[in-house]
Structure 1
Amino acid sequence: MTTTMPVGEHGQQPAIPKSVFITGAGGFIGRAIMARYKALGCEVRGMDLQPDESAGIVAGDITDPASWAAHAKGCELFIHTAAVVSLAAQWPAYRKITVAGTRKAIDVAVAAGAKRFVHFSSIAALGYDYPDGADENWPVTIGKDYLYGVAKGASEHVALAAHAAREIDVTIIRPGDVYGPGSRAWLIEPLKMAKAGQLILPDNGDGVFTPVFIEDLLDGIMLAAGLEEGAGQVFILWGGETVSCNEFFSHHWHWAGRSGSPRSLPLKAALALTKGVWRMNQLLKRHDEVTPDTMLMFSRKGGFSIEKAKRLLGYRPKIRLAEGMRESEAWLKASGELD
């Protein structure tokens, strides 16, 4: 665990905040942020649907702050990660939790006296059909498809409106595909699907995956959250190393003891199949991430620019995919997910 504040390429180094509050603190990214700031000696508190009193995490619903708002009182830095983290939800849930929940989190941060509000969006806000090298100026996606990304874009509007109104300084983070020890979305769930032979990629897995190792993301978060240059800005943070979905998920396929590559279907067939599976899961009230939007995400054609984060923050990702996957495999074995 890193015990020093990251330093940007040009010598940028934020001051260590005295106290930090994190929504969604029990999630993969939330827990990683909490551990990093605690290692620096910060007082760190948080809320999540599942409490962990030993870690300073109280139970709470982002849409109903009454039960947890007092826990944030006096925080200097407020980091908002709570959201619907799924490509399988329906719009009412995204609207209530991801979008309206962001406004409620801002209200709590302002009342608590926080100086900076860091809002977690996603590269999904740019949709799945964007040009290679798209940066923070590319329009956010709208429409009836890819609702996870639509909701993330809408939540950015809520946060930036608060900044424009001078309620609180806001920084927006758009992480890439975050993986590493503890990742449910990009380690545990794909491994389960690979073991069951259900890991399917569209168009031979030729779509682009944009991984960022969790420790690299944490460096970028801390620089963006602590530097004056981060106020009022949107930052794309990922590893800068594009790989195909086939290359990334072949690791899981091989960890599951399978040879060759994950199964594939043409995109149109994959969309039709997953649409049927998603509808059936809705009827049965069963959750998994086999959805048309997942297939669309796996059909992306390019990476993203991190030039803005490099220029303003001195952000430089250090962990390449091969090293990150070695650490991930070691964690899967240590945690019992792999023999």
Structure 2
Amino acid sequence: MTSAGLTLVTGASGFVGRALCDELVRRRMPVRCVVRQHTAGDLPDDRIQVGDIGLATDWSRALEGVQTVVHLAARVHVIREASSDPLAAFRATNVQGTLNFASQAASAGVRRFVFVSSVKVNGEQTRAGHAFSEADTPAPQDAYGTSKLEAETGLCRLARETGMDVVIIRPPLVYGPGVKANFGAIMKRVKQGWLLPLDAVHNQRSLVALDNLVDFIVTCLSHPQAANQTFLVSDGNDLSTPELVRGLARAAGVVARLLPVPVWALRAGASLLGKGDAMQRLCGNLQVDISKARSLLGWVPPVSVDEGLRRAVAGMQKT
């Protein structure tokens, strides 16, 4: 592998961005952080505020001397969508903003552009025993996934036109210290000893520990075989929802309290409460095949699932 040089990280103040910047500093790799607004705290001193990302964003100052880019900044899911046209709103940032940034990066001489996309480009669920792979026809089911696919398509075209390497990474759910949303809620309920009606769920889901995702991103910054490739990434050890609950309970030092309620009853109740999508994530399958990352890059997840869950729970307990 060769040195990545100065790396620019967008979305540096986010969940993945902070961890990535910390790891680059730990490895003594020069990093410049891009944030949407001024952020105090523990980010490296070399940081630049760019505001909203779109067609009009000027990246010239941020890109000075940069050799590699990790683009994490994006418009992500919102619980209460305010836009009358969600797809247009996602496209403005995730497609137009990304391609404007990448075009300026190529013009500035950036050698490699690592784009963190989403497994939602592949789809929302898999059949049991049939994991998503990079060779599958994309099938996004929502505006966010569609915008990520459109960005990927535009980046691949830009790579052909300019010669700038593009690497696309599609992670599933990322967990680790500081995780919020549904995963954070499950951790909290397990730690508090809630009785969870999930013991009859027989599914398999791929997750990726924050430290594993960060390690994979760093690998893709410099590995020669990563150039112009798309990768799925995970811990390489899929879990059922009851296995996840038990793993979190072990990490928290508590007893997992699980009740076997039929999946059909869980789905019916969730549908009545308008929580059908959340229940699908708890009961359905979503597996990814990381054999391409293993074989082409020689990458092995450095953190086990048990250790990843321990770190996530420890991070929750510090907050």
Match of 2:64 in 1: 73
For the structure 1 residues 163 and 64, does the alpha-carbon distance in structure 2 shift closer, same or farther, using more than 3 Å as the test?
A: closer
Contact 2:170 2:231 in 1 (8 A): yes
Tell me how far apart the structure 2 counterparts of residues 292 and 217 of structure 1 sit (CA, whole Å).
Answer: 28
Task: Quote how far apart the aligned CAs of 1:74 are.
Answer: 1.6
Match of 1:86 in 2: 77
Task: Quote how far apart the aligned CAs of 1:150 are.
Answer: 2.5
1:66-145 equivalences in 2 (<5 Å): 66=57, 69-86=60-77, 88=79, 89=81, 90-131=86-127, 132-142=130-140, 145=141
1:1-339 equivalences in 2 (<5 Å): 14-52=1-39, 55=44, 56-59=46-49, 60-63=51-54, 66=57, 69-86=60-77, 88=79, 89=81, 90-131=86-127, 132-142=130-140, 145-185=141-181, 187-191=183-187, 204-249=200-245, 260-261=257-258, 266=264, 268-269=267-268, 272-273=271-272, 275=274, 292-333=276-317, 335-336=318-319
The alignment yields a C-alpha RMSD, in angstroms, of 3.2
For the structure 1 residues 253 and 199, does the alpha-carbon distance in structure 2 shift closer, same or farther, using more than 3 Å as the test?
A: farther
State the AA in 2 paired with 1:269. Answer: A
Tell me how far apart the structure 1 counterparts of residues 168 and 297 of structure 2 sit (CA, whole Å).
Answer: 13
Task: Quote how far apart the aligned CAs of 1:187 are.
Answer: 4.8
- Report the identity percentage: 27
State the AA in 1 paired with 2:316. Answer: L
Tell me how far apart the structure 2 counterparts of residues 50 and 273 of structure 1 sit (CA, whole Å).
Answer: 40
State the AA in 2 paired with 1:147. Answer: A
Tell me how far apart the structure 2 counterparts of residues 167 and 273 of structure 1 sit (CA, whole Å).
Answer: 52
Contact 2:225 2:296 in 1 (8 A): yes
Task: Quote how far apart the aligned CAs of 1:179 are.
Answer: 1.4
| TM-score relative to the length of structure 2 | 0.81
State the AA in 2 paired with 1:303. Answer: Q
For the structure 1 residues 327 and 97, does the alpha-carbon distance in structure 2 shift closer, same or farther, using more than 3 Å as the test?
A: same
For the structure 1 residues 256 and 314, does the alpha-carbon distance in structure 2 shift closer, same or farther, using more than 3 Å as the test?
A: closer
Structure 2 SS opposite 1:71: coil
- Structure 1 alignment gaps of length 5 or more: 1-13, 276-290
State the AA in 2 paired with 1:327. Answer: R
Contact 1:73 1:113 in 2 (8 A): no
- Which stretch shows the higher mean deviation, 320-329 or 87-96? 87-96
Contact 2:246 2:256 in 1 (8 A): no
Tell me how far apart the structure 1 counterparts of residues 214 and 10 of structure 2 sit (CA, whole Å).
Answer: 16
Contact 1:22 1:34 in 2 (8 A): yes
Match of 1:4 in 2: none
Tell me how far apart the structure 1 counterparts of residues 133 and 267 of structure 2 sit (CA, whole Å).
Answer: 28
Cα displacement string for residues 257-305 of structure 1 (whole angstroms, at most 9, x for unaligned residues)? 8962389763653563454xxxxxxxxxxxxxxx644444444324221
Structure 2 SS opposite 1:70: coil
Tell me how far apart the structure 2 counterparts of residues 32 and 243 of structure 1 sit (CA, whole Å).
Answer: 24
